[in-house]
C-alpha cells in the first residue's frame, strides 16, 4: 500500500478508498494525496470537499481511481 501512496503523491493521481472512521462508520472516498508518513496520510477529499488526515490503519481498501462511465 505504501508504494501506491508514494506514487500517488508524486504523480497527483486520484485514489479511491474505503475508510473506517474512529466511530466505525465506513465510507467510500476519492482523494488526491498530499503526503504520507508512518501512520497517516494527508489528502484532499473530493467526497467531503475538504483537506483531511486519514489513519493508515483505518484504510480498508485503496486503489487508483477510475472514472465510472454511465451507459457503457
Per-residue pLDDT, 71: 58
Per-residue pLDDT, 67: 76
- Label residue 50 exposed, middle or buried (CB < 10 Å: 0-12, 13-18, 19+): exposed
Give the start-to-end residue ranges of the domains of the chain: 2-64
Indicate yes or no: pTM above 0.75. Answer: yes
Per-residue pLDDT, 60: 98
pLDDT under 70 in the chain at which residues?
68-72
Per-residue pLDDT, 70: 61
Given a contact cutoff of 8 angstroms between Cβ atoms, the answer to whether 41 and 24 are in contact is: no
What is the architecture of the domain spanning 2-64? Roll (2.30)
The rounded distance, in Å, linking the Cα atoms of 56 and 70 is 32
Amino acid at each position: 500500500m505504501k508504494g501506491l501512496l508514494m506514487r500517488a503523491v508524486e504523480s497527483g493521481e486520484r485514489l479511491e478508498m474505503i475508510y473506517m472512521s474512529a466511530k466505525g462508520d465506513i465510507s467510500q472516498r476519492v482523494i488526491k494525496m498530499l503526503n504520507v508518513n508512518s501512520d497517516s496520510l494527508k489528502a484532499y477529499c473530493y467526497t467531503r470537499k475538504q483537506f483531511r488526515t486519514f489513519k493508515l490503519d483505518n484504510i480498508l481498501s485503496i486503489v487508483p481511481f477510475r472514472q465510472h462511465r454511465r451507459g457503457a
